Structure 1
């Protein structure tokens, strides 16, 4: 399918290899769809995922894996990746260091390999116009990180993590990456019996400051993101959810340089809705970017399936639109095709479906905001704080005794409906 260019054909199209809703240049709420959504391809799932699982061997077999030399193998994989992303007109991609080229235990050799593939990526980016949304380092797969990276009790492990982040930052800066992500895959603990939690979190904060200072001193102007994730693989993750991350960033003075990259499936694992996590980040001014996927209602782990629920994404797009969009990031499809989806065409269908679902959700959310009483209803629900005693309370002009006296003088409050069913039907009406 190397010559298959996916184009917008509209909702009436029967062509499965076309967009029905994603029209990149269509203007919605003052910006094009492409500017709103800023889609990115996750290098690791799309071009590194092999379909293997704990119970079976790989099912996704790629021709480039037959190449012996690591850099040549990485270049062949990247050639295919940019061809694929160009066919879908994806404006961005994201990567971990070990996604783009295989690493060894030799720090200097890893740096050489990464520099070589970075130059290859630069050539592809110049010819295709595809940009780097963010880069990151994989500090969780290698066995040295079994007890964490920046939070590891062994300083030598932390030093290796620093070397890896430095190289990943160098690659990101060299490619004009717009952001850099820290995903603490094993920054947590299994038992307090062998853990100094306070010291580990202080080490993580110092590590983040070091990385931030290094990047800034080398010309990086973008945003740093923390990606929350609970309980997997560590039992107690230090970056459990958005509220936890915001508290950590504020505690250690990182809030001016860091925002949050929110993954849908991670929100689910934390016991939250995706919309909740978006709102928490937006309210703190830290809605940086999102990793788009979904979980499986029957599985209690991170299945990373492609998004396909228009209703849920409409609620998410309402939050994103009202927040003014992302703070430097976009929508990265941190999702993978299923183990038994073994044709390359399946990867196209997956991305087309995800992009169309978000585009349709954007259209619906904009219609709800512009053509319904959604905003007016929510404003009216809090109208008691817009004047009189309620306004005085918000302005800090009342004390606890004042509240007691007002409760007596005004009597028992009326029962006021939240009208949740009406609002849920409102979204369905516009869908």
Structure 2
């Protein structure tokens, strides 16, 4: 059965095409900065938003038109697998991501959940083997079920902690079965509402303890994907322990997890933390911790995680600048953790939205490559810090100066001349790169 009978495989037709079911900028075989677009971008599709999101919101019932619902939950789960791989093949996307509860119903017990997951992942593996599509990462949903009301690894209940461990173990078994390249921890409820009854140190120790158990089990079964922590400042927890990249890095360094964990960064999570996405990417990159990204954008007029498809070219350009500076994103990728808007309820919108996101990142890649080729930002920075190329600056950088020697130098200074950054002109020139004028 085909779920999108009127849509052919999406191909590149160039920026002048009028065909909405074609790529305008994403040409997977086009070489940019020494690699093909496909190698640079490593696109992935998120199972949860694509297959499970129904278009409902706090003020309205589901509106999305979907044709894969069956007579039972398991029949629906199998139909979703068929439809999902049809989407992946038609988009020519190489990777996908999922939470355990996305693909299989939980049932009435852990044993039943395991059986359901095994049955569905058998089907997924058949599809992967037939298509060559790969698992970018999987994770365990340890935030939706009522048992995780007070957290999973940070819970105050030892039995809940054990249940969370069982989900992670199964998640790693699935990762091995499907050849997952990464494994993500998103601590949706690893945080607190009030410190009145919270032992923060105790909870953080337990989170780290769980992470170390995961590393040990991965080594035991001979399958150790790249482990990733995904920061988010709030929602659903009021105060989440993985607030942003810097907070998560502090946690990684405190507990000695540097060799095993990097970060999976999301654009909308960055803005919720009061940062730009490029800030979060830079913090991770300069600490050798940029592992993978979730591609989306938020609405600056709304104060929650809207997970819109990325269409802001300015943002994707700076994202790709960071990924190029990082030397690439592999074994991570660019996963579209994004959902169609409530008004985009048709089946075809699932493909149209991904086409828009893929084209925006492809265009951003090309602009970023031109900026790097012209050394636009490098020259700006070199000029701004030029004084450190002087004898004084070189002595400072070589640790040849101390407070006394610098004081003696400062006493001889008659006038310090500062240089304007001309930031408005710089932004105007950047616009020319984005619009193709340069």
Give the TM-score range, shorter chain.
Answer: over 0.9
Aligned to 1:51: 55
Q: Does 1:250 align with 2:253?
A: yes
Q: Does 1:292 align with 2:295?
A: yes
Aligned to 2:109: 106
Aligned to 2:30: 26
1:426 and 1:220, CA in 2 relative to 1: closer, same or farther beyond 3 A?
farther
- In 2, are the aligned partners of 1:364 and 1:427 still within 8 Å (CA)? no
Task: Report deviation, 1:334.
Answer: 0.3
Q: Does 1:369 align with 2:384?
A: no
Which portions of structure 1, spanning 4 or more consecutive aligned residues, are displaced by more than 6 angstroms?
Answer: none
Measured in 1, the distance between the counterparts of 2:170 and 2:414 equals 66
Task: Report deviation, 1:424.
Answer: 1.6
> Which aligned pairs between 1:23-422 and structure 2 lie closer than 5 A?
23-68=27-72, 70-422=73-425
- Taking only aligned residues, the RMSD between alpha carbons, in angstroms, comes to 1.3
Give the TM-score of the pair, scaled to structure 1.
Answer: 0.97
**Corresponding residue SS for 1:66:** coil
CA deviations on 1:212-267 (whole Å, 9 max, x unpaired) are: 11112212232100000002111111000000000100000111111100000000
- In 1, are the aligned partners of 2:32 and 2:369 still within 8 Å (CA)? yes
Task: Report deviation, 1:372.
Answer: 4.9
Could you tell me which runs of 5 or more consecutive residues in structure 1 were left unpaired when the two chains were aligned.
none
Task: Report deviation, 1:386.
Answer: 3.3
- Count of matched residue pairs: 430
Measured in 2, the distance between the counterparts of 1:355 and 1:276 equals 22
- In 2, are the aligned partners of 1:71 and 1:116 still within 8 Å (CA)? no
- In 2, are the aligned partners of 1:19 and 1:352 still within 8 Å (CA)? yes
CA deviations on 1:108-155 (whole Å, 9 max, x unpaired) are: 111111111111111000111110000000010001111110000111
CA deviations on 1:42-86 (whole Å, 9 max, x unpaired) are: 000000001111112111243333331x33321111000001110
CA deviations on 1:274-303 (whole Å, 9 max, x unpaired) are: 000000000001111110111112110000
- In 1, are the aligned partners of 2:25 and 2:359 still within 8 Å (CA)? yes
Could you tell me which runs of 5 or more consecutive residues in structure 2 were left unpaired when the two chains were aligned.
none
Measured in 1, the distance between the counterparts of 2:293 and 2:146 equals 28
Measured in 1, the distance between the counterparts of 2:235 and 2:381 equals 36
Give the TM-score of the pair, scaled to structure 2.
Answer: 0.96
